[in-house]
Amino acid sequence: MLLDNILADREKFSTRLFQLMQQVNPGLAELELYEFRYALDNLEPETGNWLDVVLEDCESIELRITNLDFYKSIKIKPRSGDHIILDPAIVMLTNMLFTGLVSGKYPVDWIKQHFYFDIRGFYFLHRTEYFTSRAVSHLGGRPYLQFEKKQAEFEMKQDIGYREFSLANADVDQAFIGSAQKLIAARGTPIVLAIAGPTAAGKTEIVVRLHETFRKAGQHTTSIEMDNFLTDRDYREEMGIHTQGKEALHLRLLQNNLEQICQGNKITTPRYDFVYGTSSHDLDGKIKPGGKPVEVDPADIIFIEGNFPFLVEEISHYIGIKVVYLTDDSVRIKRKWKRDIDYRKKYEPTYFRNRFFKDQFIMAQIAYIPQMEISDMVVDTTGAALWITPQTQALLENVND
Q: pLDDT tens across 17-61, in order?
A: 999 999 999 999 999 999 999 999 999 998 889 999 999 999 999
Query: Is residue 242 pLDDT above 60, yes or no?
Result: no
Which of 23-27, 191-195, 307-311, 349-353 shows the lowest per-residue confidence on average (mean pLDDT)?
307-311
In degrees, to the nearest 5, what angle opens at C-alpha 207 toward C-alphas 203 and 209?
120
**d(C-alpha 294, C-alpha 276), whole Å:** 17
**d(C-alpha 123, C-alpha 94), whole Å:** 6
> Given phi > 0 = left and psi -120 to 50 = alpha, else beta, which region is 236?
alpha
* pLDDT per position as a tens digit, 266-315: 999 999 998 889 999 999 999 999 999 999 999 999 999 888 889 988 99
Query: Is residue 13 pLDDT above 90, yes or no?
Result: yes
- Can you give the pLDDT at residue 266? 94
Specify the pTM: 0.89
- Can you give the pLDDT at residue 214? 96
- Please, are residues 337 and 349 in contact by the beta-carbon 8 Å criterion? no
In 3D, which of 181, 192, 183 has the Cα closest to residue 218?
Answer: 181
- Can you give the pLDDT at residue 3? 77
In 3D, which of 110, 73, 43 has the Cα closest to residue 361?
Answer: 73
Q: Where are the chain's structural domains? A: 2-126, 133-397
CB burial string 80-90: b at 16+ within 10 A, e below: eeeebbbbebb
CATH of 133-397, one of 3.40.50.300, 1.10.10.10, 1.25.40.10, 3.40.190.10: 3.40.50.300
Q: What mean pLDDT, rounded, does the chain reach?
A: 93
